[in-house]
Structure 1
């Protein structure tokens, strides 16, 4: 027990060293991504670039944008500057719009995921199962439910949203639908389809695969060092925006995504000693333990 406490103290110290005073880099990422989206959309609508180019740019935008929401949910933008917590909310709400997410509801849902990772009450437990089942069955149902007001209300209740948060969710959900229907009524169906909806579906599919299915598969273990994993392969940190070090995030969620790699390098001897899953791109079934792991 003393050895365990000593290890956790060491981990916490490494976490403190990699927690910045202010996570301005995430705000810069948000600005860059929206600049890409607005430029690509405008240039496509004006006929300056072909539809396929705008489609690719906006798919990248959708895929990458959730990182901003994720950092905001964990207050990793304001970080140590508690008087700037409003920045997390503002940046998160803005980033949620193209993703068709409701910020306050999603924040409560994501915190429940951290509190109950891989347990039956984990909001992400729907990802448990094979990869084909994830891609062709469970994930499509989850994506369709983004547009289902009944499901959104049920999630608000499930994750104990306040009445104010439920009202905000209803307002944002209604605003999203109003904007979408307005664009369709104005005759922009092709632009909506190829510059938002299809990029949204692809971007969300890739993002959720690497945020939800891949890092937690096979979704059975609940121990501190085994409820998620590290995935090492060429360019992984860049391509997955640090989520190949998802274990670092669950252990020390105050560390921003752009410092996961450095923290992992310091923590690696501890993680290896604790039997953490450090693998490649694809989860290795030989490392799976279907019984609940103890920290």
Structure 2
């Protein structure tokens, strides 16, 4: 075997498929119904309500309310993500409406459109790191991401023309067009009403600033970090594992993002045990197991399709 750092060329025969073993591990860790995700949503909304009311009433300083609402915004996307994959209803398909209800509710403070986003996210899974991946805008260096590409993406959330284009791009149905623009219009009307009542400062400090910071942190660790440098497309290399102290809590399981892409039906709070069970299999296949940030030795164009790792 000839090694050149983490990216090496193995002079051995291809490893036998372990897809069945991986699928069996996934099935064992998939619950009938993900009550923990619904509980997370309730807890987060309670944080938001408590922080907002307490800040407005003067019981806590405004900066503390901002921190509480930033945590709320950052963590809430996990509920949307689970709902998009129908991981809340899980094996109880008759309860799929719960995913939609939980997802739509969680999308409201995030200024997301659930039905459109669900279609977009499914394309991301099907085309991960390819040029038509919806998340390919994250391809590139960290500072370009943080200072240019991410801010432009966040501004696009408030552009109705962009929302229309995304509906077209991802094949939304007529009904989903209606849902998207009703939601966008309702949000815009609410913001306009709050501004008209003179509460611009409260809106800025208790929603918009937390939204911008929370989305920045979430998208960095859900989009840029897991897939960087956004070139490889293989099952075991299109994303990575990120191990550092308290990572599983701070990133709500997304430090095991590879497990999600391999088996998207597993709830976020079960990624860790699946990874631990399959770690020898994954290591044998050259999975990227790194720290909080991507290892620069793994960056660069992908190895040729016929080159074993």
Q: Quickly name the TM-score band, shorter chain normalised.
A: over 0.9
Partner of 1:144: 155
Structure 1 residues 44 and 293, CA gap change in structure 2 (3 angstroms):
farther
1:258 is aligned to 2:258: no
* Equivalent residue, structure 1, for 2:245: 234
Equivalent position of 2:88 in the other structure: 77
Q: Secondary structure at the match of 2:302?
A: coil
1:48 paired residue among 52, 56, 59: 59
Report whether the alignment pairs 1:213 with 2:224.
yes
**For residues 22 and 2 of structure 1, what CA distance do their matches in structure 2 show?**
38
- What is aligned with 2:182? 171
Q: Does residue 288 of the first structure (1) align with residue 299 of the second (2)?
A: yes
Instruction: Give aligned pairs, total.
Output: 294
1:58/1:196 contact within 8 Å kept: yes
Give the equivalent residue in structure 2 for 1:90. Answer: 101
The 2-side partners of 1:209 and 1:289 are apart by: 19
SS state at 2:55 partner: helix
Residue among 211, 223, 235 paired with 1:224: 235
Deviation at 1:48, TM superposition (A): 1.1
1:216-249 CA-to-partner distances (Å, cap 9, x unmatched) read 0000000000000000000000000000000000
SS at match of 1:147: coil
Greater percentage in helix? 1
Q: Which residue of 1 aligns with 2:171?
A: 160
Please say which structure displays the higher CA radius of gyration: 2
Q: Offset at 1:4? A: 3.9
Quote how far apart the aligned CAs of 1:287 are.
Answer: 2.1
CA displacement 1:66-112 (0-9 Å, x = unmatched): 00000000000000000000000000000000000000000000000
Runs of 4+ off more than 3 Å: 1-5, 292-295
- Distance of 1:289 and 1:144 partners within structure 2: 29
Match of 1:271 among 263, 266, 282: 282
Report deviation, 1:3: 5.9
Among residues 118, 122, 126, which one is paired with 1:115 in the alignment? 126
Q: Offset at 1:292?
A: 5.4
**8 Å contact kept, 1:12–1:252:** yes
Q: What stretches of structure 2 of length at least 5 have no aligned partner?
A: 1-12
How big is each residue's C-alpha offset from its partner over 1:29-76, in whole Å with a ceiling of 9 and x where there is no partner? 000000000011011111111101100000000000000000000000
Q: Normalising to structure 2: TM-score of the pair?
A: 0.93
Distance 1:228 1:292 in 2: 15
The Cα shift of 1:293 comes to: 6.2
Q: Distance in 2 between matches of 1:185 and 1:21?
A: 47
Say yes or no: does 1:25 pair with 2:36.
yes
Q: Is the 8 A contact 1:221 1:290 kept in 2?
A: yes
Q: Kindly state the Cα deviation for residue 2 of structure 1 after the two structures are TM-superposed.
A: 10
Sort the Cα spacing of 1:4 and 1:105 in 2 relative to 1 into closer, same or farther, 3 A: farther
